[in-house]
Amino acid sequence: MMGDAVSLKYRQVALSRILIFGISGQIAGGVVAGPIAAVAGWRGVLVVCAIAAFFGLLALILASRGAAREAMTRYDPMVALQRYRGIIANPAALPLFAAVAVEGGLVFGTFPFIAPLLIERSIGSTMEAGFAIGAFGLGGLVFAALVAPLLRRFGQGGVIRIGGATAALALTGFALAPSLVIATLAGLALGLGFYMIHNAIQTRATELAPQARASAMSLHAFAFFGGQSLGPIVYGLGDMAFGLPITLGLAAAAIVILALLLARR
C-alpha cells in the first residue's frame, strides 16, 4: 500500500514513519498488557488485541476510500505462481531476498542468547536482557527520527554502510560486554544499525515488481522471517563450535560485508 501511495523519492522516509508507529505500538503493547493481564487474565489481553486490530482495519478501510481500485479477479494459484516466477526472474530479486534473510538471521538470531550471556558474566538475568532487547526498539525510533537528514547527507548507500558499521559495533559490544550498561547500549546500536540497512532493503523491494508489488513484498517478508527463524539455529551451532563471543565477532564481520555489498548496488 505504501509503495502505491508514495513515490520512490520519498518512500524510504515514509516507511520510516510507519516504523515509528509500529515500534511505538510494540512498546505500548508491552506496557498495557501487564495491567490488563493482572485484571482480566490472558483472555482479556486477547480481547483488547482483537479490538485494536479491528480499529486498525477500520483505519485502513477509511484511508483507502477514494483510491483507485483494481478489478477483483478470482484467485488462481497458477497465476500466483507465474507472478512469483516473474518476480524471481528479476536479476535484483534473489540477491535482495537473500540479503534480507541473512540480515534477519544475523540480527534477530542474537536475541535468545543475550540472557545466557548476561547470566554467564554475572551482569544480569532475563529481566536485564529485556532491557537490552527493548533498547533495540529505541534504536529503531532513533533511526526513524534521523532518516531524512541521513539520506540527504550520505545517500542510501552511505546510510547502509554506516548501518553495517553500527550493527557490527553492536554485535562486538555484546561479545565483549563487561557490564549491563554496555549490553544495553549495544542493543540500542543494533536497532539503529539494523533499521539503517533494513529500511533500504525494504524500499528496494517495493520496486522489484511495481505491477505485482504485494507479491514481491510477500516474498520479501518470507525471506526475512525465514532468516529470523534460522538465525538462532546458526548462532547455536556457532556457540557449540567456537563459543558465543567468537560467533558474535564472525556475525559482526558478516554484517559489514553484507552492508558493503548492498551499498554497491
Per-residue pLDDT tens over the stretch 236-248: 999 999 999 999 9
pLDDT at 54: 95
Most confident of the ranges 116-120, 122-126, 135-139: 116-120
Q: What is the 3-state secondary structure (H, E, C) of 218-263?
A: HHHHHHHHHHHHHHHHHHHHHHHHHCHHHHHHHHHHHHHHHHHHHH
Q: Is the pLDDT of residue 175 over 90?
A: yes
Average pLDDT score, the chain = 88
> Does any domain span residue 97?
yes
pLDDT digits 0-9 by tens, 49-108: 999 999 989 988 888 776 666 666 777 788 888 888 999 999 999 999 999 999 999 999
231 φ/ψ angles, rounded to the nearest 5 degrees: -55, -55
pLDDT digits 0-9 by tens, 32-50: 776 787 788 889 989 999 9
Question: Measured between alpha carbons, how far is 63 from 56 in angstroms, rounded to an integer?
Answer: 11
Which H or E run contains 179? none
Question: Measured between alpha carbons, how far is 63 from 36 in angstroms, rounded to an integer?
Answer: 30
202: containing domain: 77-264
Instruction: Tally the domains of the chain.
Output: 1
> Does any domain span residue 146?
yes
Question: Measured between alpha carbons, how far is 210 from 213 in angstroms, rounded to an integer?
Answer: 5
Radius of gyration of the chain (CA): 20
110 φ/ψ angles, rounded to the nearest 5 degrees: -75, -30
pLDDT at 3: 55
Of residues 11 and 210, the one with the higher pLDDT is: 210
Question: Measured between alpha carbons, how far is 105 from 107 in angstroms, rounded to an integer?
Answer: 6
Q: What would the mean pLDDT of 164-192 be, rounded to a whole number?
A: 96
pLDDT at 222: 96
| Tally: H helices and E strands in the chain | 9, 0
CATH code assigned at 241: 1.20.1250.20
> Does any domain span residue 49?
no
> Does any domain span residue 198?
yes
> Does any domain span residue 247?
yes
> Does any domain span residue 161?
yes
Question: Measured between alpha carbons, how far is 198 from 75 in angstroms, rounded to an integer?
Answer: 31
pLDDT at 124: 86
Closest CA to 260 of 194, 149, 165: 165
Most confident of the ranges 200-204, 216-220, 244-248: 244-248
pLDDT at 31: 60
Tell me the CB-side half-sphere exposure of residue 55, using CA atoms within 13 A: 5
> Does any domain span residue 227?
yes
> Does any domain span residue 225?
yes
Question: Measured between alpha carbons, how far is 17 from 111 in angstroms, rounded to an integer?
Answer: 25
| CB neighbour list of residue 147: distance below 8 Å, 6 or more residues apart | 12, 13, 16, 159, 199
